[in-house]
Amino acid sequence: MLRDMGKKYKDQADIFDVANAAGVSTSTVSRTFNHPDLVRPQTRKRIAEAIKTTGYIRNRAAQTIHGRRSGTVGFIVPTIEHTIFAELVHAFSQTLEAEDYSIILSSHDYDLRREYHLLRKLLEHRVDGIALIGQMHRNETNQLLKIQKIPVVNIWNYSENSYFDCIGASNFEAGYVACKHLLDLGHEKIGLVFPDHFDNDRAEDRLNGAKTALAEAHDYGSEQFVKFSSYSVSRAKLDCMELLSQGKTSALLCGNDVIGRGALHAARELGITIPDEQSIMSIGDFKGSADFVPSLSTVRIPSEKIGRLSAEVLLKRILQPECAVERQKISLELLPRQSTCKWQPAY
């Protein structure tokens, strides 16, 4: 039985209140937090009920003052406005939560100068580790991370030369595979609609991969059919309408599924039949892309797997700071769907 469960506790309960309510010592409460495997299940249950009753909140900040881990990880992503990183963050967060860690999530809106300032704020909060998207960061960001000697994982874009732990796919390969699919279907006039690759190594690598596939296939005036767009379905729709209206392409390769969805809307607006009159290919395989009519052909980057593995690697680094740098390249999957087909030019 818990003691004095009807007692009115002061505004902010402390560990002594929890211990008194559960009928245990403060050291047992502390051990339950830090080494639950050393506490009997029945005792842990009483302490959990006491925590709920008293409204006690564990002071992680106080722990860091005494050199103990905060139980938090900082995660900086380029955007939280679209579904681009939603599955990744969800899997990452769930994996951390299973180990009693939580994330502080920030977004820099594709501005690496802002990423640096956000990083400084996270370090002020004494997070135990940092997760960043991509390999492209400002020099002061990398320098700060090295000076602080904090565990870091670079996510999403694989590099065999990554200084920090790295879990991701080859975005160059993603662009190459997507473009090769259109080339294998007989398309020669392929429009490329990609995000601006300033401060974005994923977009840059995908575009370079697509251009490499085109260069291998035939003499291709790539700049003639390249259009830069943004991470917005409505903006991508307008940009794709401009490109499709020229009537110079038989297929569009979109740098991600956000742009790919905009392209589908643009074709519908112009009365262009997909895929008979124009094929549309994308990269990413975000949730919902398979449910469009027509369904969007794409190259899947397994975001949930990358998120889970990245969290596992970062937790390992936090617990074993001296372990070897881990670099994992995640395989891609080509997913031909209804938005692409073999090109049959009208004569």
**What percent of the chain lies above the pLDDT cut of 90?**
67
Return left, alpha or beta for 72; rule: phi > 0 is left, psi -120 to 50 is alpha, else beta.
Answer: beta
Residue 108 lies in a domain: yes
Same domain, 159 and 307: yes
pLDDT at 59: 66
List of residues 6+ apart from 296 with CB closer than 8 A: 257, 260, 261, 264, 280, 282, 289, 290, 337, 339
Low-confidence ranges of the chain (pLDDT < 70): 1-11, 59-69, 219-224, 346-347
List of residues 6+ apart from 257 with CB closer than 8 A: 282, 283, 284, 285, 286, 289, 296, 298
Taken in order 113, 118, 124, 130, the sign of the CA dihedral is negative
Give the count of alpha carbons within 13 A of 98, CB side only.
9
Q: Tell me the CATH number at 8.
A: 1.10.260.40
Same domain, 138 and 51: no
> Over the stretch 188-241, which tens digit does the pLDDT of each residue have?
899 999 998 788 999 999 999 999 999 998 755 444 588 999 888 999 999 999
Residue 65 lies in a domain: no
Token reading at 309: 């593995």
Same domain, 18 and 91: no
Same domain, 131 and 22: no
Q: Tell me the CATH number at 323.
A: 3.40.50.2300
pLDDT at 244: 95
Residue 311 lies in a domain: yes
pLDDT at 309: 98
Same domain, 251 and 195: yes
Token reading at 90: 């969800």
Q: Of 327, 254, 333, 332, which Cα lies nearest the Cα of 296?
A: 254
- Tell me whether residue 12 is exposed, middle or buried, using C-beta atoms within 10 angstroms of its C-beta: 0 to 12, 13 to 18, 19 or more: exposed
Residue 336 lies in a domain: no
DSSP 143-193: HHHHHHT--EEEEEE--TT-SSEEEEE-HHHHHHHHHHHHHHTT--SEEEE
Same domain, 309 and 164: yes
Domain that holds residue 42: 1-58
pLDDT at 220: 53
pLDDT at 219: 56
Same domain, 241 and 261: yes
pLDDT at 63: 56
Q: 129-133 and 165-169 as β-strands: parallel, antiparallel, unpaired? A: unpaired
- In the chain, the number of structural domains is 3
Residue 64 lies in a domain: no
